[in-house]
Structure 1
Amino acid sequence: MAEFLAGIEQLAVARWLKASFVAYPIVNALHIMSIGALLTGVMLMDLRICGAFRSLPYAAFVALLRRTASGAFAGALVTGSLLFSVKATTYAAMPIFLAKMALILLAGVNFFAFMRLRRATGGDEPAGGVVIILAMVSLVLWISVLFAGRFIGFL
């Protein structure tokens, strides 16, 4: 595994990010922007699922935020992978980084559980306690991902 991680650090893109004065800060800023858009989309969507913003149509609001969050997640995934490539060996050995990855995985499982439940109920506005619990779990998981990510830079 160490050889694989060291190989990632030797990729041309990783060497370019290390050598460039502007590339790494730009990728880092894009990562932060993606995370901000992701968390905003997820939080507003989860709050709407929990009953907030009732004056806004449920289906359209949630669909817009789901697309926003999905696009932002893709941006965060790409930029995060680029940032990881610079210090892959170091990050992979950090328990907080591994915790962040586990939290992202759990948030993904939670999202797919929500989507499966939504398809099973067939309604535009899923009702019931399970959906609200999944939304609250989503809020906790994504906020935890944010905190874990911030700790990576300080350990």
Structure 2
Amino acid sequence: MIRGSNRWAKRVELKDSPFIKKVLKSKFEADTARYLMTQGLDAEDIYESLKITYVKPAQKGNYKPDWPLPNGVIVETKGRFTAADRQKMVQVSKQHPHLDIRLVFYSDPTRTKINKGSRTTVAAWCEKNGFRWAWGSVPEAWLNEPEKPIIFGKELPDAE
């Protein structure tokens, strides 16, 4: 079911999942939730369960990662990867270098450019900025990595 009048903020409700009332931001997030559930993870419990405070240039902001996994890997799923998204990811990474944030893209990041007219691909941007990335779905290897401590459902301390 699509909700909202803003065409950029369409929301997709999972009708076939255990958490019918949970509204996700895209079909891609819904597909990721289904996949994580098939891997034995409780997608409802971990979806945006972590709140990371970071400082935007001249203002404070909050980042709620899509999928903070139980092993400490933080997965962000991206359809569009805008300049604002890229800036936010760089700021959060600089201010919280202990976090293992990884990106999963809907479109092939080795072919997708960061913007029209640019020669830089999304994959090249990720590598330049120190982000691990995947295309299509969360790699099983990421799910099976050793645990790194993150307190779920709690706010991380402010960046200094």
Indicate the TM-score class for this superposition, using the shorter chain for normalisation.
under 0.3
Higher helix content, 1 or 2: 1
Higher strand content, 1 or 2: 2
Higher RCO, 1 vs 2 (CA within 8 Å, ≥6 residues apart): 1
TM-score, normalised by the number of residues in structure 2: 0.26
TM-score, normalised by the number of residues in structure 1: 0.26
